[in-house]
Structure 1
Amino acid sequence: MGKPQTRRKDTRERILDVALELFLEHGYDQTSLREIAERLDVTKAALYYHFRTKEDILDALVGSIGEPVDELIAWGRAQPPTLETRRELLRRLNEALEKGAPVFQFLQENQAALRGRTSPETFRNRMRDLAALMTDPDASVLDQIRSVSALFTVYFGTFAVSSMDGTLEEKRAALLQVAREQIDSAHAACAGS
């Protein structure tokens, strides 16, 4: 009895994978449901069974990267606000971003087409929650900014360094190292005062 549910989930994941592939190749606006169905070698009716619209696919893709961040926020809230916790938050965020890199690339490359179709408020709330976990409210403004900068270094750094030489792994490791240096500096300043 568990097989139909598994098969449905596999089909749904295949649709998301192929849609993302096409969105990255041609852009969101230039990709149709018909093209997605053709690449999958299924009928549009079969595709409609899982996703009625392209926007439904977009929502599922955005959800696929939002869930790990929500889980990370929940984990961080359950931990003591220590340097070790903040360093682990950065590591886990870096790992989640690596797994979701194709979706983040798609979102980054299709910002104009997606404007008004996704909720920027949800993204802002996640960033505020992560920033609150990274900062010590008693720290100076400078050290709070260092803490938030560590978060942004990991979160947006991948896009900023995409054209630099080096492997993706080297760049991710370097971004994480710089972010840790920022959070360590902010923590040292707080501990010293």
Structure 2
Amino acid sequence: MPRRNADTREDIRAVALELFVENGFEQTSLRQIAERLGITKAALYYHFPSKDELLAELAQPLVDDLDGFFAHVREVGPGDPEAILRRYLELCHRHRKLFQSVLHDPTVLARLGTLAQVLYRRLEVDRLLVGSDLPADRVRAIIAFGGVQDSVVLMGDEPLDGYADAAVASAVRALRPG
């Protein structure tokens, strides 16, 4: 039975993300992706005319999830920092491979215009979470969110239930003044 185009696209996305995590975006060629899949470069180009388009498609689910997360935080407010940070931890865990791949070359998301968009929204949520624009308060929020995100990246494929409580509790402590 011949493969469906949707299956091939999904296989390309999965292998590309795998290689981006292993080698970084810049160091991974479309040829390497095609070879790993056992397809021709022409077949790969049929689905993704450029590596940037492939990356944009890989990043879109993260952007969509972040939009939903930021909208949720704006809607519910900062009443339950633990719930907000746990939700962010779960979001990061769903997209951990993309976060890991960006570690090799953080400028990749900037090229897509995604980084500025995400950072702007994160600053908004940081302010909302601590209820202040004071630098010391914002730094605590940045450390809390960054710690949650970094824990997911560094724990890799470890099951989330093995470290979620510790990551969230540490992030909540980082929010406390003093």
TM-score, shorter chain, exceeding 0.5:
yes
Q: For 2:165, give the aligned amino acid.
A: A
Indicate the structure (1 or 2) with the bigger Cα radius of gyration. 1
Change (3 A) 1:81 1:175: closer
Are 1:128 and 2:123 an aligned pair?
yes
Are 1:73 and 2:67 an aligned pair?
no
CA shift, 1:149, in A, is: 2.6
CA shift, 1:162, in A, is: 5.3
Provide the rounded CA distance (Å) in 2 between the counterparts of 1:55 and 1:141.
36
Aligned length: 172
1:84-133 CA-partner distances (Å, limit 9, x unpaired): 2x322111110011111111011012236x38633231232132132133
Q: For 1:131, give the aligned amino acid.
A: D
Corresponding position of 2:57: 60
Percent identity, aligned pairs only, is 32
Aligned ranges 1:41-52 → 2 under 5 Å: 41-52=38-49
TM-score scaled by structure 2? 0.79
Which structure has more RCO (C-alpha within 8 Å, separation ≥ 6)?
A: 2
Q: CA RMSD in A?
A: 2.8
Q: For 1:149, give the aligned amino acid.
A: I
CA shift, 1:64, in A, is: 2.7
Unaligned runs of 5+ residues in structure 1 are: 1-6
Unaligned runs of 5+ residues in structure 2 are: none
The answer to whether the 8 A contact 2:66-2:118 is kept is no
Change (3 A) 1:115 1:58: closer
Corresponding position of 1:154: 148
Provide the rounded CA distance (Å) in 2 between the counterparts of 1:59 and 1:171.
30
CA shift, 1:18, in A, is: 0.4
Aligned ranges 1:1-193 → 2 under 5 Å: 7-82=4-79, 84=80, 86-111=81-106, 114=108, 117-119=111-113, 120-137=115-132, 142-159=136-153, 169=160, 170-183=162-175, 185=176
Provide the rounded CA distance (Å) in 1 between the counterparts of 2:6 and 2:166.
36
Change (3 A) 1:116 1:131: closer
Corresponding position of 1:3: none
TM-score scaled by structure 1? 0.74
The answer to whether the 8 A contact 2:23-2:104 is kept is no
